[in-house]
Chains A and B, each alone.
Chain A
Amino acid sequence: MSFKNTFTYLPEDHEAEAASNSYLMSLLFIMAGLPLPIVNLIGTVIFFFSNRKSTYFVRWHCTQNLLSQLAIFLMNSVGFWWTISILFTNESISNKYIAYIMVLLIFNLVEMITTIYAAIQTRKGFHIQWWFFASLTNLICKADKS
């Protein structure tokens, strides 16, 4: 779930571009790194650190994206290792496993759609806030003292 809001200030065009790129970058890494769940997180972390000293708007969106990727990474990691244990150990397929993979697919799909939406909207300079992650980001990411 995401909400379109106005930011504390009107971001410049280069800020909107950088913020949008953070979302695009994670999408790119998801596609490149499937099915390894760690790859998208690495991509997002690199982008997050390279924009650490950027403006508030860019930092805010990089942080929101990083937090959501972290949550997805944790969920996907469980699914990934569960699958590996089924393929290579005596763990067997069960309804519990199939249900988990389905939930993963749903959450990943929702995350992907909202990321694309956020990438488009932030490029236009809009401030996209995601359910839960936006509140968490507000707590972590503070405005520049100036």
Chain B
Amino acid sequence: MRKLLFQGIVSIGLFFGAWYLLMQVNWMRILHIQQATDKVQEELGDLFWDVFKQNDLEIKDVKIVQAVDSVILSICSANQINYKNIKLHILQKDEINAFALPNGHLIVFSGLLMHTDNVEQLAGVLGHEIAHIELDHVMKKLTNEIGFSVLFSLTTGNKNPELVKQLAKSLSSTAFERKMEKQADIKSVDYLTKAFINPIAFSDFLLKLSEKDGPINEYLSWISTHPNSKERASYIRLYCKDKKNSFKSVISASTWEMMKEELK
């Protein structure tokens, strides 16, 4: 019996010992797996972006793009986020919507820019989407929905255009898991606080959208993809309580107004 126990312990120890030792090697780097995964993300991002590019008009007006870009730059530089990883695209569309695609593509509809009351509200939404990018929620959502094997096949020859369209639509019109949305909300508040942007404005924006009686009712895409806005607004407010309260404006009021004028 003693012999049996000894041999059993040695065998189990051998198994876990070998596993532990092999775990110390950075196989991801040696086998270039991270590079391959990044490549898949890059290809997917381009595929999905092509779908939107073909169907909607991209706004390239310098005043508009620079204004939104300045907000993103402020958030990124205050939070050690690589600004170059965020690829901003503003599309001419009345829907109030913004969403992230793989490989850091951030799509903002002109409807969102039109219906945000101030730059802080816009920063809140942008911070939320940047958080989805930084926390890798986009790829997690996609792999959860169809699995990595299908995503991989999309980038390696089997470019099924219908599936690409469906997935692109899903990314723009369906919510992430509740947990991920909350994570992105909280992260956005952290981003804004570090960038000296008032995060309460983000909560105000969610509350505004949840009051569906307004004239903006028909364009409420972001609210349909981000449900439970009232609840979210209240936990954001609660989370903001302990945060600092010295803020600065990311862009001047005149730049904000000029951007709005250009959008009309």
Contacts and interface: CB of A to CB of B under 8 A. Distances in A.
B7 A135 contact: yes
Contact of A95 (B8, B26, B37): B26
B143 A132 contact: no
Interface in B141-165: 141, 143-144, 147-149
Contact of B15 (A87, A90, A103): A103
Contacts of A131: 7, 11
10 tightest A-B CB contacts, nearest first:
A99-B22, A132-B7, A88-B147, A98-B27, A135-B4, A99-B23, A90-B140, A90-B144, A90-B143, A87-B149
A107 interface: yes
Nearest to A107: B15
B147 A102 contact: no
13 contacts: A87-B149, A89-B144, A93-B28, A94-B28, A95-B27, A95-B28, A98-B33, A99-B20, A102-B22, A107-B15, A131-B7, A132-B4, A132-B7
Report which residue of A88, A100, A132 has the largest number of chain B beta carbons within 10 angstroms of its beta carbon: A132
A34 interface: no
Interface string B2-41: 0110011011000100111011011110010100010000
Contacts of A106: 18
Interface in A52-94: 75, 86-90, 92-94
Contacts of B4: 132, 135-136, 139
